[in-house]
Each structure stands twice: as C-alpha cells, then as structure tokens.
Structure 1
Amino acid sequence: MTQPDHNSEKRWHRAITVILTYKVKLENLWLRRFCKNSPRKLKVQSVAAACVDASNKLGKVHIHRFSGRRCKPASLAKIMTVITALDYIEDIDEKITVEAEDILPGNGNNLKAGDNISWRDAFHNMLMASSNSSANTVIRNLGLYLPSPEFGQQVNTGLADAARNGVTAMNVKAQSLGMTRTRFTNASGLDSFGMYTTAHDMLLMGVAALAYPDLTDAWSKTTHIMSIEGASPRDVQITSTLKQLYEEEPNVCGGKTGTLPDGTQNILIYCKHGDIRTITALMQKGGDRHKEILKIISG
C-alpha cells in the first residue's frame, strides 16, 4: 500500500493558507478604499451635477462621480410625488382630507386625521418641511383621481389600495423622464425593500421639476403658512429644511433634502449663477451634506 505523502499535504495546506490570507487582506483593502459602507471613508456615494439650458434641458454634466451607483432616494422621492400629482390635478387649491392611515412620524409631523388642506399646501409641506403625512395624503388622493383603466382599480379609499395607483403613476413618470435606474415603492421616500435610484436619475428629476411653476414656487420659499380646515382649523407655519443653505448661499434657488435613520443624507439643489443654471444631486451616508454641497456649488 502506498503511504500518504505528509510533506506534500503540509505544502498544500500552507499554500492554501497563504492564498486565503492574502484574499482576506485584499478584500479588506478594497472595502476600506471603495466600499460605500466603510466606516473609514467619508461615505459620499455619488454626485451628479449639470448645467441646465433655457428650455429646461439637461446640459453638460460637469461633475459625474459614481452617478450611476444605486442609492436610496429618501425624501427626494417627494419631488416625483409632486411632479406626478401636478400632471393630473387641475385645481391645486381644491381641498383633500387627511385620513388616520396617512399619519406618519418624521419631519413636518403637523397634521391630524380629519384635517382638510389644499393640494398646494400639501405640496409645500412635502417639499419644504418634508412631511411624510402630506406625502401619504397626496398619493392616496392622487390614486383615487387617476384614470382606473390605466393604473388599475381601487377596492376602497384606503391608503394601501389608492396609493398603489399613485406610486404606479410615479414610476411611469420616472420612466418617461429617462430615469431607467429608479423605482419608487412609496410617496414619502421612507426606506422600503425594492426602492432605489441613482444620482444621475435624481438629476433628471430635478431638471424636470423646473417645468412646474407650482413646485418651484414652494422651492423658492424659506417659510410658508399652511391653512388647515376641518375639526381643528388652524394656520401652521412651515419652515424649509434648506433655510440655512438659502441664507448662506444666495445662488441657491430651490431644492430638497432626504434623510434616513441609516445615515442617508441626500440633497438636490437648484442654483443660478447669473445666466447659468445648475442642478446638483448629492447622495451620501454620514458626513455633513451641508458642507459637502457648499463645496460643490461654491467651487
């Protein structure tokens, strides 16, 4: 019987150990240098910025760092919610009712079940204060407003059924704008499985937003008074999450922030520098988006 070659086995074990050791070292080096979740690196996931011409067309992209990398849209999704609603709603001063299932925590948590607000005020509350409750109210009412043969039929007026129609319309609109690497699953931007975008797609959305005066009107303000009717009539002052940026950088004319508990800190900014107009989308985790966006738009 042939005896096993123990020296040969030892050499193979040693070789495998060396290979695995260097494999782990290389993987760790890659994670430290390139992985967006690495704790040792500022987690700027992607940046896209471009000039916009007078006809609201995307011009030359002059910053394009990882702009195709998949990210979470967070509350930047609310811009698409408003764009989609404005495509269908004829009278944005018409009142809509807030239902109990519309109420969500987060910024702009200033509504109650039974409140009656205009579409216009709901848009301001979404775009300025980033109200999740307003986003739910808008998408549910939009779902009821949409033509059923195109977007399906609602079983009842509940959030789950009607909102599904509204979110479908958001995705149809996104595809029509060339946002091929974006999928929305809700109107507020709260983290959910299957929702994603890229900085480049957010750039396309930002450019499209410039064609909607009712949207850019909300963008241009630092404060707004929302008039609420119903069981508890009241006026509520809304403050933009970009108020500090407006005050520090006079070229900023509008935009939206997006924040999630996992550290996501997105921001989309519209600027005017004389005759030059730019849209910038910054998608990052951790760090300070305020400082990062100032470096980009002031540089």
Structure 2
Amino acid sequence: MTVRDYRDEFTGTRVVVTGAAGIFGTWIAEAFAAAGADLLLTDARAEPLAALAKRLGARHLAADLADPDGLRTLGDAVAGTWEAPDVLVNNAGLYPRTPLATTGPDTVRRVLDVNVVALFELSRRAVDAMLAAGVPGRIVNISSGAAVRPGASGSVYAASKAAVETLTRSMALEVARYGIRINTVQPGFAPGSEVSALTEEHIRGMRNRIPLGRTSGPYDAPAAVLWLASDDTSFVTGTTVAVDGGRTAGDYTPPPLALPEEDGR
C-alpha cells in the first residue's frame, strides 16, 4: 500500500510540516518528499529532526513552539525561505496523559500554547504571506478523535483538539474568498504515536475497538493530508476527515465469532 502518486502535482511545492520528528509528522514528511515537495521541517527535538531532514534532503529548523521566541523564529524562517508556503501542515502537538488532580496550570498552558496558540499564529502568518504573494495556499491541521470522543486523563488535550477543529472551520470561512483552503485530519491510533512506550496489551485493546480491525499505518493519515493539499479537493474547505478505521463513528464492540450454520440434520 502506498500514498497515491502525486509527484507531478507536488514537485516544487513549498511545504512546512511542524512536529516533523513525531510518528505522524515523519510519515507526512516522507509522503510529501516522495511526491517531490520542497520541505521545511520543524520540531522541538533537534537530533531526530536533523536526521529526518538529512534523509529526506529537506530544510529544517529546531524550534519549541511553546516558546514565543521559537514561534517567531519559525515564522521568520518560513518567510525568509520562501515568499510564501504553498502548504502548511500544523502537526505539532503535546498529549500529557495526566488526571485532573495532577494537572497544573503550567501543563495546561504548555499544551494550549503548542496545540492551539502556535497553530493559530503559524496559520495567521502563513495566510498573510499567501495573500501578499497571491498564493492560493492550503493549510492542513492535525487533530484527534479525542476532539469528539475524549477519554479519561486527557481533558486538556481533548479540549485543545476541539479548539483546533473549531479554529479550522472559522479560519476556513474567513479566507475562502481568497482561494485559501483550511481543513483538518484526525489520524487514527498508531502504536508508537505516544511518547511513552505502549504495552502489547494496550495496543491489542485499542485495535479491538477499531471497526476496521487494525491500527493506523504509515500511509493512512498522509494520504488524507496530501489529498487535502492537492487540487483533487479544490472544493473542500472547513471540514474534518477522520482516518481512524471507524473509531469515532460510534461505540463498537467486536462481534462474537460466527458459528457454522446447522446443516439441518
């Protein structure tokens, strides 16, 4: 299975991917690189970011998006590298799994700074540059099923992703008249997508709750991101695409194994 070949469409396309050193960021960056895009990758983790950029032949900049100076530096770097980006993928995000009793205001602020404030500010600056350059750009924001189906010990993360989806719709309405499109992708559960190690029992339990019966792979979310960034979706804006195997469609319990039909004897 591979991402559909968008090579002719993305060759020379200027693409910024935040949170590029994470599992989904890496998969998205790899998909754009394979399609010929000109990439600027960013992440707070300098070493894995540099290794990824070297492997893909991409520009990179280590920046902590919770730090106003880091956010400004990245915005300036985008403007200094290109007149305007064609595509911005706001993938960076923090997911602290902490209960209410141990979640302090510093944690809340940091999650909102990265997941919401940085996304808004980078989108704002990208739109300004697109308008100045007359570029009908595309922004793809990465959300989560937690925006619509929050779990325990992740209230701040869920709230931040709900904010991402509301921002997406509102910003899309505002810039639609200029031909700029803004959409959201909700990736499904992928083993290794969390900073902490996941047990096989946890992975198996999550897989059992996915109607299509498997976890997210390296081509699932990137295929949706490239699709939304392509001309194939020139009439799509302000929407959210869930690439989660049906996880957010509703409650799901694996059906019992089918029994062979009686033969009538």
Q: Please report the TM-score for the alignment, with normalisation by the length of structure 1.
A: 0.28
Select the structure with the greater relative contact order (CA < 8 A; seq sep ≥ 6).
1
Structure (1 or 2) with the greater strand fraction: 1
Q: Highest CA radius of gyration, 1 or 2?
A: 1
Q: Please report the TM-score for the alignment, with normalisation by the length of structure 2.
A: 0.30
